[in-house]
């Protein structure tokens, strides 16, 4: 089973993936972007916010996604795969940029993934207040520096992306305890 844990920055994806790695010790744990050698370089480039063109940023993410599918996902489809982000994030970010048509976004992502999508998507959802508190507690990267309003637009776009991709979405309140969130994810995997 291929699942994706989605959510905006600070939602607790890394914590939940660590908990799931304990629950599924033989699972393939991966992430987008940055799970491959090329992906690490692409991730660093994107997070530096050096790309001036939103189209260039989108295409960098697609390159990472294509490599990730080829190297990590396809060879392990017979195993449990738990991914920190997926094409859902890529589609969501592209939707809010407005530079690329919805049709092009969907077609290019289908091309990059060979039509291989997560079977289930878990969205760790934050309120504005919780997001702003969490952001105030850390050093911000290039994406986080765009602010809470931008990140909340991404969160809404994550939901829209799962609908456009026709994926099963499980939304979880990310302000709950770590244990409660993990329990909800596990309940929905089985």
Question: Closest Cα to residue 30, out of 1, 62, 4?
Answer: 4
pLDDT value for 48: 79
pLDDT value for 144: 63
Boundaries of every domain in the chain: 2-189
CATH architecture of 2-189: 3-Layer(aba) Sandwich (3.40)
d(CA 16, CA 12): 6
Please say whether the beta carbons of 20 and 8 come within 8 A.
no
pTM of the prediction?
Answer: 0.91
pLDDT value for 141: 65
- Quote the distance between the C-alpha of residue 107 and its chain's center: 18
Please say whether the beta carbons of 10 and 135 come within 8 A.
yes
At residue 68, φ and ψ (nearest 5 deg) are -60, -45
pLDDT by 10s per residue, the chain, length 190: 999 999 998 899 999 999 999 999 999 999 998 999 999 998 888 877 787 888 888 899 999 999 999 999 999 999 999 999 999 999 998 999 888 999 999 999 999 999 999 999 999 999 999 888 887 877 766 676 677 888 899 999 999 999 999 999 999 999 999 999 999 999 999 6
- Quote the distance between the C-alpha of residue 26 and its chain's center: 21
């Amino acid at each position: 089973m291929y699942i994706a844990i989605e959510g905006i920055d600070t939602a607790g994806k890394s914590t939940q993936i660590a908990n799931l790695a304990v629950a599924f010790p033989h699972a393939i744990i991966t992430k987008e972007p940055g799970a491959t050698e090329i992906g690490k370089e692409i991730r660093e480039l994107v997070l530096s916010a050096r790309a001036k063109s939103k189209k260039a940023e989108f295409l960098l993410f697609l390159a990472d996604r294509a490599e990730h599918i080829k190297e990590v996902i396809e060879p392990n489809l017979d195993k449990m795969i738990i991914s920190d982000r997926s094409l859902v994030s890529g589609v969501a970010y592209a939707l809010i940029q407005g530079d690329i048509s919805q049709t092009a976004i969907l077609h290019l992502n289908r091309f990059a993934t060979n039509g291989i999508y997560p079977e289930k998507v878990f969205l760790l959802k934050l309120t504005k207040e919780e997001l702003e508190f969490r952001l105030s507690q850390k050093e911000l990267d290039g994406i986080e520096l765009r602010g809470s309003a931008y990140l909340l637009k991404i969160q809404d776009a994550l939901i829209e992306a799962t609908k456009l991709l026709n994926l099963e979405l499980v939304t979880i309140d990310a302000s709950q305890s770590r244990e409660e969130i993990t329990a909800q994810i596990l309940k929905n995997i089985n």
